[in-house]
Amino acid sequence: MTDRTPGFHTLAIHAGAAPDAATGARATPIYQTTSFVFDDVDHAASLFGLQAFGNIYTRIGNPTCAVLEERVAALEGGTAALAVASGHAAEFLTMHALMQPGDEFIAARKLYGGSINQFNHSYKNFGWNVVWAETDDPSTFEAAITERTKAIFVESIANPGGVIVDLEAIGAIAKKHKIPFIVDNTMATPYLIRPFEYGADIIVHSATKFLGGHGNSIGGVIVDGGSFNWMGDDRYPMLSKPRPEYGGMVLAETFGNFAFAIATRVLGLRDMGPALSPFNAFLILQGIETLPLRMQRHSDNALKVAEHLAGHKAVSWVSYPGLRTDRYHNLAKRYCPKGAGAVFTFGLHGGYDAGVRLVSNLKLFSHLANIGDTRSLVIHPASTTHRQLTDEQRRIAGAGPEVVRLSIGLEDPEDLIADLDQALEAAA
């Protein structure tokens, strides 16, 4: 590269990758191996002691995964990253580096359903307690802070799509109280929103969705913003206290502004084990090469479909921040002027039964529980993902009987609109 600062499209293709030193291979090789040979015992000792960077065993790092890590760190503007087996693993290892038993973190109520489960139930086994705040009211985050609060967690574009979070306002509260601010940037991706510019300290991704982008690989990424000062902060012993596993090394002292990424690797990934397969890293990297093209097309297509649905007689409401009349339109203009993403919900006059008929009549849309595929996807949450909840719980989760969620793909928008029209007709 030249000494120009590369633009986003260039980074999406080149960051972290160079022709393979051994073979000249231009595409990133898939290092499909469990382990790497040491030069000698001293080399092994320096790797295990964290005195040298290098490869030991694919559970704690792999050269194909390393390209993915560098690529996502560059796109987000972070100092370093860690690739892991899934988005949930990224969330878990992030919390594992920050939380001790009895600690609390504050999370926005509007989150991916799996994250709500993870926070409410699984984390209880570790003594980590979630305190919920109102996604649209930053003052509720500040009001929830106690001396046990170790982190604040939000999604930039929040589930079930169509919710733009005021990152700057919540980031300012986190900074004022010296609490790390974690942003799940899965739905926006760094093409639409770069949370480090608004006060995030740590970014997590489900690479399963738009980063990979083709519905073929589960993966996750943690990105260190390098902005939080862990040194001397007794609240974060994983980072600021001597680590017995590493001869008393203090990670924040040795690794400075990428100590968080190191902690999630050498303590979290090493001991908990959710490693990303090099093959999946390759597929996710392949996806990222076209991330800016895809995200623009996803957003443009979603806006066209949302506009069409907003004028349809069977539709009672559409929640898409790209629409001028939407309650989040001003936040969308501020945080994601290029587009508001692929995922949104709308309501059917015909209620529950119309929702069930719609998903069974769609032909081009696939009826499944994922987002962020080249293909357009649909789900009627009340009859599927949220079926086990009560009516009241469903309504609070934004999954009332009439709600349908779409993840708009990269097809011709006219074909998507025609498919929705025929299915709405059949469902009426």
Ligand X SMILES: *Cc1c(COP(=O)(O)O)cnc(C)c1O
- Residues of the shown chain interacting with ligand X in the complex, contacts defined by CB under 6 A: 86-88, 112, 114-115, 155, 159, 184, 186-187, 206, 208-209, 218, 220, 371
Q: Nearer to ligand X by C-beta: 339 or 341? A: 341
Q: Tell me the closest approach of the beta carbon of residue 213 to ligand X, in angstroms.
A: 13
Q: Tell me the closest approach of the beta carbon of residue 284 to ligand X, in angstroms.
A: 11
Q: Tell me the closest approach of the beta carbon of residue 407 to ligand X, in angstroms.
A: 10
CA distance linking residue 420 with residue 404, whole number of Å: 12
Report CA dihedral (419, 420, 425, 428) to the nearest 10 degrees. Answer: 140
Q: Tell me the closest approach of the beta carbon of residue 46 to ligand X, in angstroms.
A: 34
Element (H, E) at 310: helix 291-310
| β-strands 163-164, 157-158 pairing | antiparallel
Q: Nearer to ligand X by C-beta: 284 or 416? A: 284
- Helix, coil or strand: residue 345: strand
Q: Tell me the closest approach of the beta carbon of residue 4 to ligand X, in angstroms.
A: 33
| Measured CA distances, 330 to 23, 200, 267, 335, 336 (Å) | 51, 21, 41, 9, 10
C-alpha dihedral sign at 197, 287, 221, 231 = negative
Contacts of 285 (CB under 8 A, 6+ apart): 17, 28, 64, 67, 68, 71
Q: Nearer to ligand X by C-beta: 47 or 83? A: 83
Q: Nearer to ligand X by C-beta: 79 or 115? A: 115
- Alpha-carbon 106 to chain mean position: 17
Q: Nearer to ligand X by C-beta: 206 or 385? A: 206
Q: Tell me the closest approach of the beta carbon of residue 111 to ligand X, in angstroms.
A: 7
CA distance linking residue 208 with residue 215, whole number of Å: 7
User: Look-up: residue for tokens 């503007």?
Assistant: 77
Prior bond to 160 cis, omega within 30?
Answer: yes
Q: Tell me the closest approach of the beta carbon of residue 159 to ligand X, in angstroms.
A: 6
User: Look-up: residue for tokens 């400075």?
Assistant: 256
Q: Nearer to ligand X by C-beta: 371 or 424? A: 371
Q: Tell me the closest approach of the beta carbon of residue 401 to ligand X, in angstroms.
A: 23
Beta carbons of 297 and 322 less than 8 angstroms apart = no
CA distance linking residue 136 with residue 170, whole number of Å: 10
Q: Nearer to ligand X by C-beta: 88 or 308? A: 88
Q: Nearer to ligand X by C-beta: 91 or 419? A: 91
Q: Tell me the closest approach of the beta carbon of residue 424 to ligand X, in angstroms.
A: 26
Q: Which of 201, 155, 156, 203 is nearest to 179 (CA)?
A: 201
Q: Nearer to ligand X by C-beta: 210 or 236? A: 210
- Alpha-carbon 381 to chain mean position: 21
* Residue nearest to ligand X as judged by C-beta position: 87
